[in-house]
Structure 1
Amino acid sequence: MKRSVSALAALLALAPAALAAPARAAAGPAVGLSASQGGTGGSITVTGSGWRPEALLTILICGQSVPSRGVTGGTGSCANADGRAVTTDARGTFRRRLPVAEPPVPCPCVVHVATVTGAAAEADAAFQVAGHAVEPLPPEAVSGRLSVLTDTRLDGTDGLLTRFGAPAYRTLVFTVGNVGPSPVKDPVFRVGTSHGVFAPQWDEQQWHGTLAPGGRARIALPVELPAGAHGDYTVSLEYGGRVLAEQPWGVDRPWGVTVFWILACVVVPTAVFRLGMTVVDRVRPRGPQGRRARRPCPRLPGLFRHPPRPRLSRPDTAPRTAAALPWFTPDTDRGSATETDAP
């Protein structure tokens, strides 16, 4: 009986802790600060809980941001040079000293903590940098906050003209949701294409519609590459200064252009040669009989002549009779005349 009472008392003692653990896990990542404001040159202590165990995190001071909407300008609005990195322990907690630095944009400011690898997670805590300028948030940050909910994809295929250097077209399809407290009307997205280490070439495109808080929409935006482009490209989607998604795009080499230039290098010289020969044939002087005079070929006497063939005499087996010629008469026979006139 005493053992049963002791076991029941132990279970009752552990029940609050067991119920509190799921509550802390459901709350998600959290960030705490040792001070709500500080000046440049000082430092604060940043603590966190509810993170993934053994996760690598970055800690930054960012401007033009509030905890309810996150870093609206992306990491470009943070003091990246003075940021710190930390790894959580087995319980998902951490503690790190952070120097106070002025971000490149005005406040309101936050201490932004985000994961580097693995599943994306982030948390913010309001912080005021003493002596730093304060300006209102941009309109897109006040109206709402969009986030990509599903993986993006590029729809479309290359046609026959693309093989000959025509521009390649695709459609960037993605689903966004409004995770902010206010509706978003006619958002303007920036679609950029980058090749290798070069910076993206951005193109602003507006989507017509309104997204209520908690709402979602399927959006398709056209993407175009310049003529003759080939290789590995990256399509980036940006809204409110934050890159929402990136999608790789591999473009085949336009072999039709290569074949065209090979044919041009063969056909054009042949056509020029035939045209030149036609002109030479027309301007060539003509001979006395109306034919075009040809340049005589030099001959070397006796060089290419064949030696005379020897004739073989055959013995005559039958007597030959000479045919009488019509102009041959006895009067003109020199032998007859000699015998008659001889003394």
Structure 2
Amino acid sequence: MTMDKVPASRTPFLLLLALLPLLLLLPAATATAADAKPEVKLSQQQAGKGGDITVSGSGWRPGTLLMMLICGQATPEKGVIGGTNSCANADGRAVTTDSKGAFSKKMPVAEPPKPCPCVVHVATVTGEQAVVDAPFTVAGHPTAPLPEPTGGGKLAVLAATRLEGDSGILVFFGAPPSRRLEFTVGNLGSAPVKDPVFQVGTAHGVFSPQWEEQQWRGTIAPGQKALVTLPVQLSAGAHGDYQISVKYGTKVLIEQPWGVGRPWGVTIFWILLAVVVPAAVFRIGMAVVDRLRPRGNHRHRTAQLPKLRLPGAWSRTHRPPVTEPAAAPKSTTTTTALPWFTPDSAPSENRSTTKGHS
């Protein structure tokens, strides 16, 4: 039995029929991967302080660093009111998802600073932000109703930002540089914003910002604006180019550059230390050597030093005795002076007479 050859014109059509089931399944698989949302499951829904629970999750991005916290004054629908200030940050745990976006880790049960209702707050640390709040009850922790929502408020920056303040003399010697970040925000929403919580981030070079939450005290009514001042401080000895960012919610409001000078006082201090310490050690060593030197040898060397004759009056008073030459022998012949001449009236050979010249 022989098979008829398929015409070449029908070959693409047959290939399309063969691949049609795969083409129909591909959009469904893509939609399933895109629709996958992060999930969190707890081993217990209630536990007391001092115990522990196992937190597991799926649907997260692979290789993502997550932070797990127990937060008060929060619900899965409204989130954590007040930000991480309502969470037990000291007892939080970090975990990294595997290649499939899943994780499982134990964490201790701690009482948050705010009353319950409570949740286990799981959020990404880097990259695209994703947050899941799983309801949880801390046994024995007080419970209070949630504060009135302030939804509907929307803040936006209305004026240019500036860094106020200057560096003191201590910053020249390595103290932490600090500034005040001032900016004007306006409420573009329909509800007042009370005590907003901003996140201030500092980034050095190409590194990602390190975020820190700061709460501004005040209420911004709809359509009103307010001047917000937030303190910014770097670590000790910081220098170079920094980037200051301010984020409200998930939106970055401000990015302000800040150039910090080098603390030359530290360099000068180390240079002086490198010069003074060796000199001090040398002087101490010479003093020790001089103290340990034998005294007998010192006296012997002093006695052998030649005597020096000083010039001036001292040398004249201490001249050696001069020996006078021996006196010539006296002649035995005596001369008798004439009686009419005295030593003073004797005629001088150079004295001229006026007689005979008249």
TM bin, normalised by shorter chain, reads: 0.3 to 0.5
